[in-house]
Amino acid sequence: MRRASFVLAVSSVLAAALPGLPVQAQVTAGQGDAGHGRKLFLADGCYQCHGTSGEGGGVFGPKLAPAPLSYEAVLQQLRSPRARMPVYTAKVLPDAGAADIYAYLRSIPKAKPASEIPLLNLK
């Protein structure tokens, strides 16, 4: 009985204290800095397989932009990659850095269609 009272008392204290504790917010895709993400993309070597603007590198890195996968899918690939990609742990690339890289990939505009490029339409 004494033990049950102790557990109940501790549970009550924790229940009262937890709502007031600060909670570390998760970084989301919308919070990234595209300019910083571009710097990280180049500095961390992403461009070596994925190209400087995420266009892909043939047999190596797949195309990442202009329409990247969801932020969650990109983060999952960074943390637990499939195939021959290095692991980017949170210690190596914090979630904020991953969000910045994602923001950079989302900022890359779609290429113009060939019909809108004058040099490709000379007759």
Condensed to tens digits (0 to 9), the pLDDT of residues 56-109 reads 987 789 999 999 999 999 999 999 998 889 999 999 999 999 999 999 999 999
Torsion of CA 68, 73, 78, 83, to 10 degrees: -90
> Residue 82 corresponds to which amino acid?
R
- Could you give all domains of the chain from N- to C-terminal order, each with its CATH number? 29-110 (1.10.760.10)
CA–CA dist 102, 46 (Å, integer)? 12
pLDDT at 14 > cutoff 60: no
Residue 47 CB neighbours (<10 A): 17
> Residue 81 corresponds to which amino acid?
P
Length of the chain measured in residues: 123
